[in-house]
Amino acid sequence: MKIATWNVNSLTARWARVESWLLEHAPDVVLIQETKQSDEKFPFAPLAALGYESVHYGQGQWNGVAIFSKVGIEDVRRGFGDDDPEARFIGATCGDIRVYSCYVPNGRALDDPHYAYKLEWLAKLAQVLVERDRAQPVVVGGDFNVAPTDFDCYDPSLFVGTTHTSEPERAALRAIEATGLVDLTRHLNPDDPCFTWWDYRSGSFHRGWGLRIDMLYVDEGLCRKATASYVDREARKGEKPSDHAPVVAEFGA
């Protein structure tokens, strides 16, 4: 079983890259963020031709999350069931695993209302995970827009006073882990930064100026079954890449 998460920064603009990546890597389940398209534009039929069922929680111009699966999609949940107008959370059961695709708000700046919204959003996610069925395997993946520790940031000194590395954001991630989840990529790669995002500007990718902000959190049972987790840096190269690379996890029987 291979499960991936990828912020594609517009599925409309990225479709050719996404299609070729699916063909090359053949993941069973993919958690997608930032489709930036309406349901009318979402490529349900092209995905079906590749062997994937898919579900989309779209908003149009901004945000938008989706799940692709070769092993079925049931019990779909869109959003937290509150009045949040932004499409950032979708869950489904794929095979015997409960999966969630998360696009955590950016936050913009520590004194911006969007930062408070980000912390509230992460608290709602933690509450969903507190209340989950502990007997069911779970993967909570996506773009968390937080680097969990300074090791997940190419130069923490540049982020002092900004979002993505602040203590409240990191505490929010620890609260998610405290529900019994493991940051799988870090768990299996303790000595490799495993950056997942590089700014489009300034040649950041080639200078190694990255952050690890895309994670796959898994329950302890799945953690024991995991055989590998890695970042596909190749997907960040070439023509029209997303600014995020896909993160992959592989599980044995």
Is 60 a binding residue for DNA by CB under 7 A? The answer is: yes
Which of the stretches 47-55, 74-82, 105-113, 184-192 binds DNA when contact is defined by CB under 7 A?
105-113
- Give CA–CA dist 50/28, Å, rounded: 11
100 is catalytic: no
**Cβ nearer to DNA, comparing 189 with 204:** 204
Which of the stretches 6-14, 124-132, 173-181, 224-232 binds DNA when contact is defined by CB under 7 A?
6-14
Of 2, 25, 77, 108, the one binding DNA by CB under 7 A = 108
Of 201, 238, 252, 253, the one binding DNA by CB under 7 A = 201
**Cβ nearer to DNA, comparing 114 with 224:** 114
143 is catalytic: yes
The catalytically annotated residue of 28, 115, 143, 183 is 143
Is 50 a binding residue for DNA by CB under 7 A? The answer is: no
Query: SS3 for the chain, per residue?
Result: CEEEEEECCCHHHHHHHHHHHHHHHCCCEEEEECCCCCCCCCCHHHHHHCCCEEEEECCCCCCCEEEEECCCCEEEEECCCCCCCCCCEEEEEECCEEEEEEECCCCCCCCCHHHHHHHHHHHHHHHHHHCCCCCCCEEEEEECCCCCCHHHECCHHHHCCCCCCCHHHHHHHHHHHCCCEEEHHHHHCCCCCCCCEECCHHHHHHHCCEECCEEEEEEHHHHHHEEEEEECHHHHCCCCCCCECCEEEEECC
User: CB 240 → DNA: shortest distance, Å?
Assistant: 5
User: CB 18 → DNA: shortest distance, Å?
Assistant: 12
Which of the stretches 45-53, 165-173, 177-185, 198-206 binds DNA when contact is defined by CB under 7 A?
198-206
Which of the stretches 19-27, 59-67, 183-191, 230-238 binds DNA when contact is defined by CB under 7 A?
59-67
Please work out, in degrees rounded to the nearest 5, the angle formed at the alpha carbon of residue 109 by the alpha carbons of 5 and 11. Answer: 30
Of 203, 208, 220, 237, the one binding DNA by CB under 7 A = 203
Catalytic (active-site) positions: 103, 143
Contacting residues toward DNA, per CB under 7 A = 9-10, 12-14, 36-37, 60-62, 105-106, 108, 114, 158, 199-204, 209, 240
